[in-house]
Amino acid sequence: STDGDTTAVTFDGRDGHVVLPAGLPSGLAELTVSARVRVNTLAPSVRVFDLGYSKDTYLFLTATTGAGKARAALKIAGMEAEDFVDATGPLPLGRWTHVALTLAGGTGVLYLDGTEAGRNPAMVAGPLLLGRTSRNYLGRSQNSTHPYLHGAVRDFRLHNRALTADQVRQLAQG
């Protein structure tokens, strides 16, 4: 759909979502996932994206957690807990925000509008362990009990490397 002069995928918060191709991000030892997101309604566990193949193996970005923070998380079946990177607050309401997550060398970094918003230097899992994912979505979770995104996403990208902070900043400004 069109949002002003911007073409984006809009989500109604009820059942709208996009199914992404299987195999994302198969074979990648490091990566960057980025997108421009507009959140219209905040609800805990609403996914901007969710890549995986079960409720126990995933890489996702949620606009807010129950603690009121945007979170990127990675979990592989069999891990006791998920690895995550939290921002200091939720994704902003009603405006476009560039989000980027980089994963490389055991470190996850979450960026909002080109600025580092959170870092975890002790990630146990990496994207390579996700394997060949088959349940990849924009706007919804693999977990059917989670709410759908009410908002919009545009310029969703999956890079086959972890972009540097300067590269993320340039991407956010573009």
CATH of the domain at 36: 2.60.120.200
**What DSSP letter does each residue of 27-38 carry, written as one string?**
T-SSEEEEEEEE
Q: Which residues pair with 98 in a beta bridge?
A: 36
Whether residue 157 contacts residue 111, with contact meaning beta carbons closer than 8 Å, is answered with no
In whole angstroms, give the CA distance from residue 103 to residue 150: 27
Hey, how many other C-beta atoms are within 10 angstroms of the C-beta on 81?
8
- The count of structural domains within the chain is 1
pTM strictly above 0.85: yes
For residue 1, pLDDT beyond 70: no
Residue 155's domain comprises: 2-173
**pLDDT given at position 69:** 98
**How does residue 54 score in pLDDT terms, banded at 50, 70 and 90?**
confident
How far apart CA 10 and CA 124 sit, in angstroms, is: 34
Nearest by Cα to 96 from 21, 34, 27, 163? 34
CA 25 to chain CA centroid, Å, is 13
% of the chain exceeding 70 in pLDDT? 97
Reference 110, options 25, 35, 39; nearest CA is 35
Question: Per the structure block, which two tokens stand in for 69?
Answer: 């923070």
Instruction: State the average pLDDT for the chain.
Output: 93
Question: Which pLDDT value is given to residue 55?
Answer: 82
Q: What band does 89 get if pLDDT is binned at 50, 70 and 90? A: very high
